[in-house]
Amino acid sequence: MKRALTAATVLLLASLTACGAGSPTGGTDKPSASYATDSLEALCRAQHWPQPMPETVGKTFDPLGKDLQCFDHIKALAPDGHDVMNDSAADTQTWTVASSQPRNGAQVRRTTPITLELREPTATGTPAAGKLPTAQARKKAAAILEKEDQDFRDFLAKGQDVVGTLDFTPWYKQAIVGLDMKQTAFNKAEAYLSDGNEPTSLLEKWRDDNGDGNAAITQFAVDGLSPDAPDEKTRKDASDALGALAKADEDAEGIAGSG
């Protein structure tokens, strides 16, 4: 369901660009609809290079976050020396950057090799999860999913605050290239659940409902480019997003209470 909605959004982006929708008119500054053609590649290419290496030490390692998403060659070395960029199981753990090469502030290009040394992951992944009793594991998993729902609501609220202003542009960019690329909550929650205690149907339903909320937020971002925004379209998009996220919360509550 989510993939179909995302595809529809891509088609809508193309039609907006072809029609020139969302161009500013009158005396009020509005973000241009040209941003509707932006991709992560385009946004990264438009930055000034070289630029200072961002501060990553002490932060959570996030290769899709704004600090690292534009770099082409990243190695992220766990304490045992393996590169977590090539380890799908690493997505279920939270890693913190211990050191970086080049160092913070050094001039780097997109193609500069970046090597990050990581600290031992926090106990949020599979090893710790497997030691929890079933009821506790389900509650932990549900808490992760509900936090993701709330993060989406908080993000939407920021967009509602700035739609119709120049501050909408950076929010729009994050909505288009950020949310849909980074949904680690499902994997983290699933790591707490084993074959014997996993409420599969509820977990999949949460992913669908949360994905619908994600897609509605993306639609809000696209419709927010209109010179008439905020308008009926953006209000409907926001309502659709909140409705989907409320359903996702119910799914998470079902996971916590399922027996």
User: Does a structural domain hold residue 46?
Assistant: no
d(CA 254, CA 206): 10
Provide the residue range defining the domain that includes 80: 51-118
Per-residue pLDDT band for 147 (boundaries 50, 70, 90) equals: confident
Calculate mean pLDDT across residues 89-115. 84
- Per-residue confidence (pLDDT) for residue 78, from 0 to 100: 86
pLDDT at 2: 41
Say whether pLDDT at 168 is over 90.
Answer: yes
pTM of the model: 0.55
Indicate the number of domains in the chain.
2
Rounded CA-CA distance 254/212 in Å is: 18
Residue 252 tokens read as: 């998470």
Q: Say whether both 235 and 138 belong to one domain.
A: yes
Please indicate, yes or no, whether residues 141 and 253 belong to a single structural domain of this protein. yes
Weakest mean pLDDT among 16-20, 42-46, 163-167: 16-20
Q: How confident is the model at residue 61 (pLDDT cuts 50, 70, 90)?
A: confident
Please tell me whether residues 134 and 236 are part of one structural domain.
yes
Q: Does residue 92 share a domain with residue 56?
A: yes
Percent of the chain with pLDDT over 70: 71
- Among 20-34, 111-125, 245-259, the range scoring the smallest mean pLDDT is 20-34
Together in a domain, 71 and 185: no
Q: Which residues of 74-106 are buried (b: 16+ CB within 10 A; e: fewer)?
A: bebbbeeeeebeeeeebebbbbebbebeeeeee
- pLDDT interval class at 70 (50, 70, 90): confident
Digit-coded pLDDT (tens) for 173-222:
888 775 544 456 787 787 777 656 567 788 889 989 998 998 899 999 99
Q: How far apart are CA 243 and CA 78, in angstroms?
A: 40
- Position 249 in a domain: yes
Does residue 76 share a domain with residue 169? no
